[in-house]
Every structure is written in C-alpha cells, then in structure tokens.
Structure 1
Amino acid sequence: MASASSADDHARTESVVNGMAQGLRTLDEGVAWFSGLSPAGRQEVLHEVAHYAMQAHITAADGRVGVARSGVKRTANPAVMICMDPPRYGFSGLPADEHVTAFRVLVSVFAVADTRRRQTHCNDGCGHSWHNLPS
C-alpha cells in the first residue's frame, strides 16, 4: 500500500503537470517546482509524466511540436527520444544533469497530445478529473 506522502506526491504531480498542459501554470513554474525535488523525486516524476504521455498516445509529430515549445535543442537526448517513432520513454534513467531538460520536453509534448485528446475525445465533456481542473 502506498504511503500518504506518496499519494500526496502523486496528486501534486498530477496537479502541476495537468495545470501546465492546460495553460494554468507556466513551463517555468513547473520547472521551478521540479527543480526543487530530490533526485529520487525527480526520477519518480519523470516516470509518472512519461506514463501520462503514453496514456495521451503521443505521436512523433506531437514530439516535434512539443520540443519546439519546450525551449530544448532538438538534438538533446530527451528531444531525440520523444521524437522517435515510436517515442522512447526511458527518461527517468537519464543522468541527473538531464532531468530538467527531460521534464521540459515531456510536459511540453504531453501538453500537445493532451490538448489534442481533450479536443477530440473529451470535447463534449468527460469524467477525467485531470481535464476539469479549476482555473
């Protein structure tokens, strides 16, 4: 069973990342939050956000648009990984000095894919709590 702090950490990650995807938080705000986490916390968040991206069914095209929005060079490891067809998701295994870059790429690409899915699959409303955040 997950500890209370683990459940709280998951809820916080979900709130921050989905808030960024919906334009309720800036990328810089999200990066500041992410940078304040412990190295293990950053790895866990990268794993969780990669899972969100998989659930959003990101495409290589989403990857290219998201990388452009992220401010990360398209030749950086995380940018190359996410633009592959199919995308690679091993971001939590990257060296610690690439975690912030990976986070920027992942949340930017997730935002592109999640916006597309909200417009196509949830355009008439849905029960996904993460699509119904208070503004």
Structure 2
Amino acid sequence: MIETSSTDGHDFRRETERIVNETAQGLRTLEETVAWFSGLSLTGRQEVLREVAGYAMQAHITAADGRAGVARSGVKPTANPSVMICMDPPRYGFHGLPADEHVKAFRVLVSVFAVADTRRRETYCKGTCGHAWHNLPTATEEP
C-alpha cells in the first residue's frame, strides 16, 4: 500500500495527476488505473478522490459530460457517485463516501474527467495549448 506523508505528498499528487491524465488520454486503461487506486490505503484513496474531483471541476464538467462519463465508467447510473456527478451542479464530496464506494467513485470521476478533458482539448486548447498535462508523450515517444 502507498501511504502519503507531508514530505512526499507533492510527489503523490504529481503521480495521481500523471496517472489520471494518461487514463483520460487513452495512454493507460481505466482497469490499470483502478488497480493502482485499489492498492492505496484508505487515506490515500480519499486524497486521490479529492484530487480527481478537483480536476473534474477545473475541466468544467457539464451534465452531459457526467452522463457520458458514467456510461463509460461501468458503474450503474443509480449508484451514489453516478447520481452525484450528474446533478446540476455536480456534488463533489466523493472522499466522504463509505470506503466500499471509493472504487465506484473513482471510476466515475476519472471517466467523467476524461470526457470533459477531451472536449476541452478538442475545443479550447486545440492547437494553442500550453498545458503540460495535455501534451503527454505517447507510448512510442520518448519522455
């Protein structure tokens, strides 16, 4: 299990950012990412849920993004995380859900973020993007 501390919290957040963005861009499968998440401690999972909810907020998710992401996530539309993300405005208290709902919440958040972030990369950032997380090297490129 991965534990975080004040000395490595920044590195943990950067790892989370890299893994989630690789997943959003199709460089990593959702299943690989869920396996990584599942190996974290309870505190680590809660921290990641807060972090990924922040990414979703920054991507300005819409209700349509929520519905499309839930459909992609493999989580039932009636599950708590699915309902929360599809509300208008979305609810973001995923870290406060019971531990047995963390994986579902993570699947939903990453999937919705992927939908919203793809939309933003194809519209607002197309051709002029300077965001490092939108310019990740593909598997065939050197980092």
TM-score range (shorter-chain normalised) is: over 0.9
The SS at the match of 1:47 is helix
Corresponding residue for residue 74 of structure 1: 77
Runs of 4+ in 1 over 2 A off after TM superposition: none
Deviations 1:61-106 (A, max 9, x none): 1000000000000000000000011111110000000000000000
Corresponding residue for residue 38 of structure 1: 41
In 2, the alpha carbon distance for the partners of 1:131 and 1:87 equals 24
How far does residue 126 in structure 1 lie from its aligned partner after superposition? 1.3
The SS at the match of 1:61 is helix
Matching of residue 63 in structure 1 with residue 39 in structure 2? no
In 2, the alpha carbon distance for the partners of 1:72 and 1:36 equals 19
Which of residues 100, 106, 115 is equivalent to 2:109? 106
Corresponding residue for residue 17 of structure 1: 20
Unaligned runs of 5+ in 2: 139-143
Deviations 1:16-55 (A, max 9, x none): 0000000000000000000000000000000000000000
In 1, the alpha carbon distance for the partners of 2:120 and 2:7 equals 31
Corresponding residue for residue 126 of structure 2: 123
Query: What is the aligned residue count?
Result: 134
TM, length-normalised to structure 2:
0.91
TM, length-normalised to structure 1:
0.97
Corresponding residue for residue 26 of structure 1: 29
In 1, the alpha carbon distance for the partners of 2:123 and 2:101 equals 33
In 2, the alpha carbon distance for the partners of 1:42 and 1:3 equals 16
Measured on the aligned residues, the alpha-carbon RMSD in Å equals: 1.0
How far does residue 125 in structure 1 lie from its aligned partner after superposition? 3.1
Q: % of aligned pairs identical?
A: 77
Matching of residue 86 in structure 1 with residue 89 in structure 2? yes
In 2, the alpha carbon distance for the partners of 1:4 and 1:43 equals 18
The SS at the match of 1:74 is coil
